[in-house]
Amino acid sequence: MAAAPAEPGRDCPLCPRLAAFRADNRAKFPDWHNAPVPSFGSLDARLLIVGLGPGLRGANASGRPFTGDWAGDLLYGTLLELGLARGTYAERADDGLELIGCRITNAVRCVPPANRPTPAEIAACRPFLAAEMASMPGLRAILALGSIAHDAVLKARGVRKSVFAFAHGARHRLPDGIALIDTYHTSRLNTNTGRLTDAMFRAVMREAIEATG
């Protein structure tokens, strides 16, 4: 069994702006999670899916990545369709959904105002992403949802950004042999405008499964 990675504490103080936002949200929405959102899935998985950060009324409220967020509908629907999840996705952390062979995390664990973390906040959260990957002994492939996740993964693995450019559908081979696959984020903007279709996302997810060997 893999050893648990270092996790940010419930009151993580590393990003003052995010901590202040968290305090506001705790006062306004006391029933929500309102804390760093832990990763979901087994550390023994071969595939790690990396998002940007929790949505205010989604993962920040439910306490599980992408859960209750618009972006989770396509993500969890595709995981269920391709056999990477079992159960029912009901937009709540207690819906009993189980992931099979994959784990989901975010580049930034706390909800950022307007879904926009600053470069300093992404950097402050990087050690947790690095610890996450280091704690997955069977890790073979990483699926980055969007360019911010792509850049965060590269930096967390100590690879210069300029070495691998983000491109939807691209499959990079990191120096340690792990595959990095890029997709446009499953955000409302991307799916509503047709920049990312269900078929495109399914294809990239199949590529990620194949890369786990």
- DSSP assignment string, 55-72: -TTTHHHHSSTTTTSHHH
* Window contacting ligand URA (CB under 6 A); options: 57-65, 91-99, 124-132, 204-212: 57-65
Residue number, 76 or 164, with CB nearest to ligand URA: 76
Residues 126-155, one symbol each (x = binds ligand URA by CB under 6 A, - = not), give -------------------x----------
Q: Which helix (H) or strand (E) holds 142?
A: strand 141-145
Residue number, 116 or 173, with CB nearest to ligand URA: 116
CB of 83 to ligand URA, least distance (A): 22
Residue number, 69 or 132, with CB nearest to ligand URA: 69
Phi first, then psi: give them for residue 79, nearest 5 degrees. -60, -40
Each residue of 106-124: b (16+ CB within 10 Å) or e?
A: bbbbbbbeebebeeebbeb
Which position among 5, 65, 101, 112 is part of the footprint of ligand URA (CB under 6 A)?
65
CB of 75 to ligand URA, least distance (A): 8
Which position among 51, 63, 101, 112 is part of the footprint of ligand URA (CB under 6 A)?
51
Each residue of 41-78: b (16+ CB within 10 Å) or e?
A: bbbebbbbbbbbbbbbebbbbbbbbbbbbbbbbbbbbb
Is 188 in contact with 70 (CB distance < 8 Å)? yes
CB of 115 to ligand URA, least distance (A): 7
* Window contacting ligand URA (CB under 6 A); options: 48-56, 80-88, 91-99, 133-141: 48-56
Residue number, 69 or 207, with CB nearest to ligand URA: 69
Q: Please state, in angstroms and rounded to a whole number, the distance separating the CA atoms of residues 82 and 86.
A: 10
List, in sequence order, the alpha helices (H) in 45-192.
Answer: 59-62, 70-81, 119-134, 147-156, 188-192
Distance of CA 186 to the CA centre of its chain: 11
Q: Residue 53, interface with ligand URA (CB under 6 A)?
A: yes
Residues 89-108 within binding reach of ligand URA (CB under 6 A): 106
Residues binding ligand URA (CB under 6 A): 51-55, 58-59, 65-66, 69, 71, 106, 145
